[in-house]
Amino acid sequence: MERKRKLLKTTIGLSLPIIVLTAACGDDGQSASTAPSSGAETATSAPRSTSGTAGATTVPATAGPASTAPGTSAPPDTTDSASTAPATETTPGTGGEPVIDPGDGGNYEPNIDPADFVDAIDNPYMPLPVGAEWVYESREDKETEQVKVIVTPKTKQVMGITTTVVRDTVHIDGELVEDTYDWFAQDGDGNVWYLGETVKNYENGRFADSEGSWEAGVDGALPGIVMPADPTEGMAYRQEYWEGEAEDMGEVEDVGGSQAVPAGQFSDVITTTDWNPLEPDVVEEKQYAPGVGLIRETKVAGGKALVELIEFSPPA
């Protein structure tokens, strides 16, 4: 579900409270079992909050060198001590301000505990029941892709967490160009975590490379939240973190809107802005519908691209 071609949108920098989250760490063993255990999609320990995501502790932002997040409320706290952290990444052309500031001062240290994860991923805005399928059409640079996402019955151990394996395939004119397996888990409060992916890229029908693959707990890579338990406008969070390789961030821009896509008309939609400091000129906007998940992506800076949900099939 978390595709590399994401759509983001520039975001205003508000001085809101920072939400602190807790997660926990284990081994990164792997399993192809067909029954999910104590883990789920992208889970982390239960956050504790008074604003923003469920279970996260809010910490008032302070004015100081980059130790606090000038911009938004973050989902479950992912930092142990942001006060001594270096400044967050900045974006050229925006006065040195990041498009999204996750509120950790650049010091991202989630404390992951496998015991905090649950078996199912049932967050209303990113439900991942085994057998569910989504079909999207992606249009960019006069090229049309068909993207199919399916929640497999397989699981994988990542940092001691049993994750749900989601397969994402991309075809152009009927030819496979990408085949990815993403790993998600959900914590007890309902936050959905992303713990990595294995990617196979193809050219002319042949395997080309595995560029884009990464795993939380390996080579310094860390998991992130892709969908907060209680999305609140202005909430910012890291979706993944592998320095210099995978640094995607998200921020909730709007809650309660409506959106029509080829698959239908949806209400109570939330809109997020997605941004990656490694590609600072690209900003995307994503929309999620309750009971379905991602329905639309739009690149709003750094080019033009549109991804829309064509068909959704819940488990039989």
Query: HSE of 193 in the Cβ direction (CA atoms, 13 Å)?
Result: 41
Residue type, 234: G
- pLDDT, one tens digit per residue, over 228-247 is 999 999 999 999 999 999 99
Lowest mean pLDDT of 61-75, 230-244, 280-294, name the range: 61-75
- pLDDT, one tens digit per residue, over 176-222 is 999 999 999 999 999 999 999 999 999 999 999 999 999 999 999 99
List, as one string, the DSSP characters of 188-219. TTS-EEEEEEEEEEEETTEEEE-TT-EETTST
Listed in order, strand segments (DSSP E) in the chain are 18-20, 57-59, 133-140, 143-158, 161-172, 175-186, 192-203, 206-209, 214-215, 222-227, 236-238, 240-241, 249-261, 264-275, 283-289, 293-301, 305-313
Residue type, 279: E
Lowest mean pLDDT of 64-73, 110-119, 126-135, 210-219, name the range: 64-73
